[in-house]
Amino acid sequence: MEENQKLIDPNLVLNFENIIKSIGEEIDREGLQKTPSRAAKAMEYLTQGYHKDPVEILKSAMFKESYSEMVIVRDIELYSLCEHHMLPFFGKVHVAYIPNGYIVGLSKIPRLVDVFARRLQVQERLTTEILNCLNETIKPHGAAVVIEARHMCMMMRGVQKQNSLTTTSAFTGVFKTFETRNELLQLLNNKER
């Protein structure tokens, strides 16, 4: 696809070469010869969200519809990079909204998540960016985003807590009322994990 056709930024390759040297490795070692360009390509892939327009993605599949019950897309796989350590955090995203005249194609919701996840992020901001984009673009009666994630910067370094799960949530409109929010959280809790 388009990412593969793009040339890798030579500056990024050079920077990875410098990182490898700086940590005390031999840049000429056989196994490392292509590593700077591979790492640069991977980093470009993992941060491709900067070059994508989430509003355009939603608008490409927005349909007039009178359905006005809760729509939930749950267990969307999440892979992102924390902006403090540039280490992965990963988990599940659940997105819900109550339509107000418009729905979006269901496959666009995971794509929306990816646009914001494939940037340097903090889980809190990722949660509100997904929410605000959905809310402002399709203007539902309300929207909700819940993210459960594990952070490699906590698991591999620092406090080395392997099992801590960070949950963040954000709500707009009718989801700010106790009943609607509770209905959503109950539906999310009822799933078999």
> Residues near 136 by Cβ (< 8 Å), separated by ≥ 6?
55
Which of 38, 85, 92, 141 binds Zn ion (CB under 5 A)? It is 85
Q: Is 61 in the site for Zn ion (CB under 5 A)?
A: no
Single out the catalytic residue among 17, 48, 148, 153: 153
The reply to whether 141 belongs to the active site is no
According to the binding rule CB under 5 A, does residue 82 interact with Zn ion? yes
Using CB under 5 A as the binding rule, whether residue 84 contacts Zn ion is answered as yes
Q: Which is nearer to Zn ion, 70 or 117 (CB)?
A: 117
Q: Is 123 a catalytic residue?
A: yes
Nearer to Zn ion (CB atom), residue 27 or residue 165: 165
Residues 6+ apart with CB under 8 A from 116: 49, 54, 126, 129, 130, 133
Given the rule CB under 5 A, which of 38-46, 101-109, 152-160, 173-181 is the region that contacts Zn ion? Answer: 152-160
Which CB, 72 or 153, lies closer to Zn ion? 153
Q: What are phi and psi of 91, to 5 degrees?
A: 170, -140
Choosing from 3, 51, 77, 84, the catalytic residue is 84
What is the Cα–Cα distance from 88 to 71, expressed in whole angstroms? 29
CB of 84 to Zn ion, least distance (A): 4
Closest CA to 65 of 95, 99, 98, 97: 99
153 sits near Zn ion (criterion: CB under 5 A): yes
Q: Would strands 88-98 and 71-82 be described as parallel, antiparallel, or unpaired?
A: antiparallel
Helices (H) and strands (E) in the chain, counts: 8, 7
Closest to Zn ion by CB, 51 vs 157, is 157
3-state SS, 127-140, equals HHHHHHHHHHHHCC
Query: Residues in the site for Zn ion, rule: CB under 5 A?
Result: 82, 84-85, 153
Which sequence positions are flagged as catalytic? 82-85, 123, 151, 153
